[in-house]
Structure 1
Amino acid sequence: MRFQFQTIDEPYAGEKWQALFSRLWPAYKSWYLSQGLEGRPTYLECREALERYLPRFLPTYETLCELGGGSDLAARFLSLWKPPAYIAGCSQVVWPGDEPVLIRNYDYAPEASDGIILRSCWNGMKVIAMVDSMSGALDGINEAGLAVSLTFGGRRVVGEGFGVPIIVRYLLEFCETAREAGEVLRRTPSFMAHNVTLVDRKGNFLTAFLSPDKPPVIRQVPVATNHQGTVEWHNHARATATLERENFLSFRLADSEMTAERLAQAFLYPPLYTRAYEHGFGTIYTAVYYPKRGVAEYLWPDGTITCQLDDFHEDTHEVIFQPLSTAG
């Protein structure tokens, strides 16, 4: 399977974002209505949720809604309030050295991935992020030196809350430190179980274990895979090897000869790298974020994209995903 990643530079959402929305909206619309319109919240509910929990994002949300055509359905989708459930894999780790680094693998189905790396400045903060759902982000870095990424938390519970990509986007848009981000995570509900790991330029890091049925648990731990403390969904845990990946990363952090560069390269091999694309858990990309330098690297076995907050170039990069059943 051939897949194309694209780097896009647009400080304020405009024609480029609008073109992306026009291209991606049919697929997102189908996904958003997959459980029927009656299963989605009203526009008023979505807007009230943003006003209550993510108020500083409201002007940007209104701009995106207008660029998206101003329809009621698109506005509901762009809020990411109580969207349809979705499940991913993913591994992430903070390298807490003299130069802190956040490294993550995003494991998902290629056909449901956007592949858009956007440098923006929507709210006065330069951000490089892997776009998701048009208004959200899977991971990214901002000019204050905060890097953030997410994983699925390995629980089947669904409830009142936001899709976590818009929470990640909010952190990147408005937070400068791990402490500030932690306060946002404490008060913002997530509609599914997700783990958000972040690190700032001073090396302060945390992982927030979010669930809709209980308060967030925020700990100074550098590793997160697809469970929250103990395993609850055992079939998913076995299928994604979440415990094996967590142990693998913990052992690498304890290795006195390990370096950030070697740790990043380890993400390109099992057990962190997976080719289970036919099951929706194949590795789509490895992201490496350097908060002090303002640098983002995206790695694949056959190539790399390097982006800088102050020196960003638009380009495309083709990746071939080879399923496990056909891998040599």
Structure 2
Amino acid sequence: MKRFHSDVIQYRGTHYDFGYFQGELLKNSPILPNREQQWEPKKDRHFIIDIEAYKQIMVKIAPSILDEIRGLADSLQMDLEKAYRLFGGYYLEFTRSGCSIFTDSNFMVRNYDSNPKGYEGRYMLYEPTDQGLAVIGPSMQITGRIDGMNEKGLVIGYNFTHSKKSADGFLCNMIARIILETCANVDEAVTLLKEIPHRHSFSYVLLDPDGESYVVEASPRNVAVRKSNVCTNHFHLLDEENRYRLEETQQREKRIQQQQMHATNPYQAFKVMNDPSHEVFSNKYDAAAGTIHTSAYFPKERKAWFIIGPNRNPVIFDFDQWMQGINSNIKQIKGELDYPAPFVNME
């Protein structure tokens, strides 16, 4: 087992200032050099976007995130067009991943499964002072979010279905960020998911303080909505979008359903996902399907749990308290994974 960590980053201020602040942190971080090395073979195929089309969409739905990207560009002395490509969350290739989600009326618990060498290792708490809702959750590609919760108690997580037959559109991590910053409840999030262009096929799981959980199956061609409390890596409604081999994801879905029936409290539900003995937590890191983090969100209480690796007690964040101006004393979240290569935030 090798030690890993995520850095906890807390900020209150305008989006431009937040972007500039992140840029200053990135100057002393291995994240961008490691990203450049990983993306170099793909850049000619996957970094081509229509900048004007992207900006026109963002101006309508989340203009403040454009300010954040501008702040990043100014801090890093980077051409703005390059910054849009790197941090815009639009028309960029996404690495295949697993992921499993279980919801109760009071919480969501999620395993994020992927390859650790692409994991960013940044856990963010951000409260905008210009526009948008405060959000807590781990980042992806700097500006995006892997999962998270906002100040209204809206929670989102997403699961990969496939990247074939992709189209011009937003990546899952930027879609999650936009929803968390601009939507107050599940209904608003569903509406946005039906309107926004999708690059790939993903299921987005939504929960808010009302306690009803929805799975939104979204592809570049169609969007469908169903009520469910378990989600893995296949669609139920958009069957034509599924991959050919569904046995593993369907079996994992049934395993979660069966084992969560015996969980009588949130901690037990969390352990079903995080304890390898329950056979939901995965070590298949080389196949981009190993569990990197397990997270849980509590919409009514505005609390978040987070852990890296298996069989550890979660680090607990009181987001309600943080919204009152009390910063968390946690600087890093540490854990262990059975994988030799580091996260991109690590040397």
TM over 0.5: yes
Contact 1:50 / 1:79 at 8 angstroms: preserved in 2?
no
Cross-structure match for 1:78: 87
- Note the C-alpha offset of 1:244: 1.3
Cross-structure match for 1:305: 315
Shift in CA distance, 142/232, structure 1 to aligned 2, threshold 3 Å: closer
Distance 2:286 2:163 in 1: 22
Alignment partner of 2:232 out of 225, 236, 240: 225
**Which amino acid in the other structure matches residue 108 of structure 2?**
L
Distance 1:135 1:113 in 2: 14
Alignment partner of 2:115 out of 109, 113, 116: 109
Cross-structure match for 1:129: 137
Distance 1:95 1:152 in 2: 21
- Note the C-alpha offset of 1:252: 4.1
| Percent of paired sites with the same residue | 20
Q: Secondary structure at the match of 2:55?
A: helix
- 1:317 aligned to 2:343? no
Shift in CA distance, 152/159, structure 1 to aligned 2, threshold 3 Å: same
Distance 2:208 2:228 in 1: 14
TM-score (norm 2): 0.83
Most deviating of 39-48 and 196-205: 39-48
Distance 2:263 2:101 in 1: 20
CA RMSD of aligned residues (A): 2.4
- 1:95 aligned to 2:104? yes
Shift in CA distance, 114/174, structure 1 to aligned 2, threshold 3 Å: same
- Note the C-alpha offset of 1:227: 0.8
Cross-structure match for 2:345: none
Distance 2:6 2:65 in 1: 26
Alignment partner of 1:193 out of 189, 201, 220: 201
Contact 2:19 / 2:69 at 8 angstroms: preserved in 1?
no
Shift in CA distance, 17/48, structure 1 to aligned 2, threshold 3 Å: same
Q: Secondary structure at the match of 2:12?
A: coil
Contact 1:127 / 1:172 at 8 angstroms: preserved in 2?
yes
Contact 1:130 / 1:137 at 8 angstroms: preserved in 2?
yes
- Note the C-alpha offset of 1:101: 0.2
Distance 1:307 1:68 in 2: 30
Shift in CA distance, 172/67, structure 1 to aligned 2, threshold 3 Å: farther
Cross-structure match for 1:163: 171
Shift in CA distance, 30/51, structure 1 to aligned 2, threshold 3 Å: farther
Shift in CA distance, 127/36, structure 1 to aligned 2, threshold 3 Å: closer
Cross-structure match for 1:234: 244
Distance 2:230 2:78 in 1: 40
Contact 1:9 / 1:314 at 8 angstroms: preserved in 2?
no
Distance 1:157 1:124 in 2: 33
Contact 2:298 / 2:304 at 8 angstroms: preserved in 1?
yes
| Structure 2 unaligned residues grouped into runs of 5+ | 323-327, 341-347
1:16-42 Cα deviation digits (max 9, x unpaired): 412443332223334444323364114
1:185-244 Cα deviation digits (max 9, x unpaired): 1101110111110101121321111111x2211122222111112483234x45xx2111
| Structure 1 unaligned residues grouped into runs of 5+ | none
Distance 2:41 2:178 in 1: 26
**Which amino acid in the other structure matches residue 23 of structure 2?**
Q
**Which amino acid in the other structure matches residue 297 of structure 1?**
W
Cross-structure match for 2:26: 21
Most deviating of 141-150 and 50-59: 50-59
TM-score (norm 1): 0.87
Q: Secondary structure at the match of 2:184?
A: coil
- Note the C-alpha offset of 1:78: 1.3
Q: Secondary structure at the match of 1:93?
A: strand
Cross-structure match for 2:344: none
Contact 1:46 / 1:76 at 8 angstroms: preserved in 2?
no
Distance 1:280 1:172 in 2: 26
Q: Secondary structure at the match of 1:306?
A: strand
Most deviating of 203-212 and 153-162: 153-162
**Which amino acid in the other structure matches residue 17 of structure 1?**
Q
Cross-structure match for 2:12: 11
Q: Secondary structure at the match of 2:293?
A: strand
Contact 2:91 / 2:170 at 8 angstroms: preserved in 1?
yes
Cross-structure match for 1:295: 303
Contact 1:276 / 1:323 at 8 angstroms: preserved in 2?
no
**Which amino acid in the other structure matches residue 321 of structure 1?**
L
Cross-structure match for 1:264: 270
Contact 2:140 / 2:173 at 8 angstroms: preserved in 1?
yes
Contact 2:259 / 2:272 at 8 angstroms: preserved in 1?
no
Which structure 2 residues correspond to residues 167-182 of structure 1 after superposition, within 5 A?
167-182=175-190
